[in-house]
Chains A and B, each alone.
Chain A
């Protein structure tokens, strides 16, 4: 019968962790107005999370654009619909791949650096020292990083989509030889700014909140040992990725349902 108790213990532990996450999120939101009084800290974080991720995001965007154009061309050319390559690539990027792949890359690159940084601060007792000096570590350390992540994510997702479309143009028009006029005009007619681009931006903002919050939480709650920090870093990537993918399904079902 002890396995029954074990299941109960596990479920109670999950619910407790969920509640702890919610409390932490509420504390973080409460410190946002205070931390916005010193915007320079958030600006530094936007630089650390956004600017320094540009290389990985732009090169991934270009590569994804190349591959998408090739694959859609191979699939569409049998139906004589090769002129729709631009439209299909644009819709895939702007609606889905831009926000989701950027969020996964962001979680891997920026999320892990956030978690490691905060975890090491905790291991080096810097956060405890701040509390002793009556400096709230949540508003001084955590909130700027959260704000930086939320600001950087949508911009990175837009850049990913834009570079992906340019990459598709390079492969489709320059390499394969599709007609550039049809390429751009199919996109202009088929992509709606509010429905496709706007929903993609909303998605990337939501994913930014998820990735930044998970990274900051795992860093703050990491065990104050090197091994604890390493575990927290992997947990950040795994939890961010799974949450982003689950949330993506929910948001897509809500936003793109045929009314």
Chain B
């Protein structure tokens, strides 16, 4: 094979590889979903971030408007500090609230933003003041059990029973 032919074929081979890489990145991976547009940063503090991970989406009304870029622990208040990268095209009022929700029953967790009624918008670097932590299943169960026990203790008839039950143990 002559020189030009070989070089052309190798060039074609490399182009094919680059095309495969582009196809895999754009169509079959998450490159295209957040490469367009500029972003600004917001911070939010949560008592419990649950299963939130870096690169989890930030959604408002179900539409992805940002990503979680870092999660850290505030050494003074012992709260989780979550840094969010928000799309510049969407601005939120500065009394918007952030909650950690789960997509589906067993899905990944994401940060849900609900726009507040305020007038001024968040500037870059602001902190979201109103936050609600992730739901921890154990606290929910213990809350339920305590409320059930409180209901049972409220009616007078079973009142002597608890001490007897305690004695029998």
Residues of A with Cβ closer than 8 Å to B?
A: 40, 43-44, 46-47, 50-51, 54, 90, 94, 152, 154-156, 158-159, 161-163, 165, 184, 187-193, 196-197
A152 — nearest CB in chain B belongs to which residue? B13
Q: Which of B6, B17, B20, B23 contacts A44 (CB 8 A)?
A: B6
Assembled-state Cα–Cα distance A187/B33 (Å): 12
Contact A54 B13 (CB under 8 A): yes
Which 6 pairs across A and B sit closest by C-beta, in order of nearness?
Answer: A155-B17, A162-B20, A191-B29, A158-B20, A193-B29, A193-B31
Contact A51 B20 (CB under 8 A): no
Residues 17-55 of B at the A interface (beta carbon under 8 Å):
17, 20-21, 23-25, 27-33, 55
Residues of B with Cβ closer than 8 Å to A?
A: 1, 3, 6-7, 9-10, 12-14, 16-17, 20-21, 23-25, 27-33, 55
Assembled-state Cα–Cα distance A18/B6 (Å): 37
Known: A46-B13, A155-B14. A188 touches B27 (CB 8 A): yes
Main secondary structure of the interface of B (DSSP, over half): helix
Contact B16 A188 (CB under 8 A): no
Residues of B within 8 A of A40 (CB): 3, 7
Residues of B within 8 A of A154 (CB): 17
Contact B7 A43 (CB under 8 A): yes
A201 — nearest CB in chain B belongs to which residue? B21
Residues of A within 8 A of B13 (CB): 46-47, 50-51, 54, 152, 155
Q: Which of B27, B29, B32 contacts A192 (CB 8 A)?
A: B29
Residues of A within 8 A of B24 (CB): 94, 158, 161-162, 165, 197
Q: Which of B9, B27, B29 contacts A47 (CB 8 A)?
A: B9
Assembled-state Cα–Cα distance A90/B10 (Å): 27
Contact A197 B25 (CB under 8 A): yes
Assembled-state Cα–Cα distance A56/B117 (Å): 62
Residues of A within 8 A of B6 (CB): 43-44, 47
- For this complex, 6 residue pairs linking A to B, each with C-beta atoms less than 8 Å apart, are A40-B3, A46-B10, A47-B10, A47-B13, A51-B13, A54-B13
Assembled-state Cα–Cα distance A259/B25 (Å): 24
Known: A43-B10, A155-B14, A158-B21. A184 touches B27 (CB 8 A): yes
